[in-house]
Amino acid sequence: MAEPIFEISNLDFYYGQMHALKKINMHIQPRQVTALIGPSGCGKSTFLRCLNRMNDRIPGAHVEGSILLGGKDIYSLSLDPIQLRQRVGMVFQKPNPFPQSIFDNVAFGPRTLGIASNRPDLEVIVERSLRQAALWEIVKDHQHRNALDLSLGEQQRLCLARVLAVEPEVILMDEPASALDPIATLHLEELIAQLKEQYTIVIVTHNMQQAARVSDNTGLFWLGELIEFSPTRVMFTRPQNKISEEYLTGKMG
């Protein structure tokens, strides 16, 4: 088995005095899809945001324990959070394109981070990213259009292209299909299957069928604890924990 890309050890997370995550231990393997499931308010999204330090922005929030990315502590004072978020990008629950052109949305990261500055280099990156997000054929002839004119499903793929443009190692997805119709959801799931050939993906989802379809490994969160973490086929056919079994069969949660 390959070395894990993320090693999470004894992770505790607090919102002020509120103990939101309790002693989380997990290894996330490269170029696999890891799904996080569990009822609302159980800590899934909080944990996801710990992986690229999005929680740093919340007053009073703090972590204990460690999260290693490629063997290095992401909460080290020597690590720049901006560089971390380049390596670990995020697609949010609701599409959040910038109110500007399709091209400028995708070019934003490379411009800001200095990955590319001249138009020809940016055009190469934008086309590559839109192709990876299965959006190029739809928008290639009108990249000057405002991104807000796209459908919700297309906006979400544009947000994914924006993440891909800065060449991350990991893509975090926080319920990325919750605002989408079934067809757009299917397109997104197909994309996830393709992207895991190059990227590590961690997805929070309330849709257990989606977790079963797209993921290699699944973690079940319950009241801030990681109750079970196992290969998805094991989780959904032979759960090892009674809470897991009752949640997956609809008896709890």
Q: Enter the pTM of the model.
A: 0.95
Report angle CA 32, 28, 196 to the nearest 5 degrees: 15
pLDDT per position as a tens digit, 63-73? 999 999 999 99
pLDDT value of position 214: 96
pLDDT tens per residue, range 114-164: 998 799 999 999 999 999 999 999 999 999 999 999 999 999 999 999 999
Q: Which domains, and CATH codes, for the chain?
A: 6-248 (3.40.50.300)
DSSP string, 45-92: HHHHHHTTTGGGGSTTEEEEEEEEETTEETT-TTS-HHHHHHHEEEE-
Band (2; pLDDT cuts 50, 70, 90): confident
Q: Are 11 and 3 contacting, i.e. CB atoms less than 8 angstroms apart? A: no
